[in-house]
Amino acid sequence: MDKLTSPKVIKEIIHKYGFRFNKNLGQNFLIDSNVLEKIIDAAEINEGTGVIEIGPGIGVLTQALAEKAGKVIAIEVDAHLIPILKETVGEYGNIKIIHDDALKINLKQIINSEFPNMNVKIAANLPYYITTPIIMELLEKRLNIDSIVVMIQKEVAERMVAEPGEKEYGALSVVVQYFTRPQLITTVPPHCFMPQPKVDSTVIKLNVRKQPAVAVASEEQFFKVVKAAFGQRRKTLVNALSNSTSFKMSKDEIKQILKKLNIQETQRGETLSIMQFAELANAIS
């Protein structure tokens, strides 16, 4: 098969199959072989690795993954791409294409049935409209995966790695850093795709932690506190938490807890570290 990063080859394929790009499905195909190489290097794949790819498109990343991995499961929602993938990656015995919606499919079951005794990794040039839900699904379900290497919108990647006090720091930063060690790999400009997206992209690697970054009595409570704190960003922590319907404590009780934890009454949620959020979640009710 010819190089799938070549715009000429892509044009021939889409012409042959009468394929039309579907904007609603975030279809921006990668046409830059350097970026492709960086994704593959970051993924650190070998024959003992099973990879799940979300949204293979015409198979550019799928092919490169299959060259190194023991097995690749590629989940594509667009029925028009399935016959194309049969042509572009059909000759690889270690690729299985699944026609389904990655947001609806049972990933846990796929991991258990397809990858016994393999290290499991996720790799994708994600359709941007599903970035947050798919990453939350992968992390919150505690799937048995080592790492996630994904191309996402640059702003979203910046939020994932942001530290307390930075303007990008928010609930997404806390949740991602609770479950993983995020690492920026490279920034990717629009001209690396066909068609070109309107925004810059970033390849990010999320190294899944064996244990979450901090110990909490109840994860549900921890996420409630984080959500309430950032739900009303302009408000002080005391006001954001006492306005929230998630907690029973009065404003004064919340003030006392903050004092005990050495958190100023006037502080906002965006100044708190993950450890402080954990302490707060363990103390509040």
The correct pick among 43, 65, 77, 172 for binding ligand SAM (CB under 6 A) is 77
Omega of the bond leading into 7 within 30 degrees of 0 (cis): no
How many CB atoms lie under 10 A from the CB of residue 67? 11
Shortest distance (Å) from residue 65 CB to ligand SAM: 10
The correct pick among 35, 40, 51, 55 for binding ligand SAM (CB under 6 A) is 55
How many CB atoms lie under 10 A from the CB of residue 7? 10
Shortest distance (Å) from residue 142 CB to ligand SAM: 21
Q: Does the protein bind ligand SAM through residue 39 (CB under 6 A)?
A: no
Closest CB to ligand SAM among 13 and 257?
A: 13
Let me know: does 92 contact 4? Beta carbons within 8 Å: no
Angle between helices 219-231 and 274-283 (to 10 degrees): 110
* Angular region, 200: left φ>0, alpha ψ -120 to 50, beta rest: beta
Q: Does the protein bind ligand SAM through residue 56 (CB under 6 A)?
A: yes
Q: Does the protein bind ligand SAM through residue 65 (CB under 6 A)?
A: no
Q: Name residues whose C-beta falls within 8 Å of residue 262's C-beta, 6 or more positions apart in sequence.
A: none
Q: Does the protein bind ligand SAM through residue 25 (CB under 6 A)?
A: yes
- Taking CB under 6 A as the binding criterion, the range among 19-27, 64-72, 176-184, 251-259 that sits at the site for ligand SAM is 19-27
Q: Does the protein bind ligand SAM through residue 185 (CB under 6 A)?
A: no
> Cβ-closest residue to ligand SAM?
55
Opening angle at CA 188, ends 184 and 194, nearest 5: 140
Contacts with ligand SAM by CB under 6 A lie at 25-30, 54-57, 60-61, 75-78, 81, 101-103, 125, 127, 130
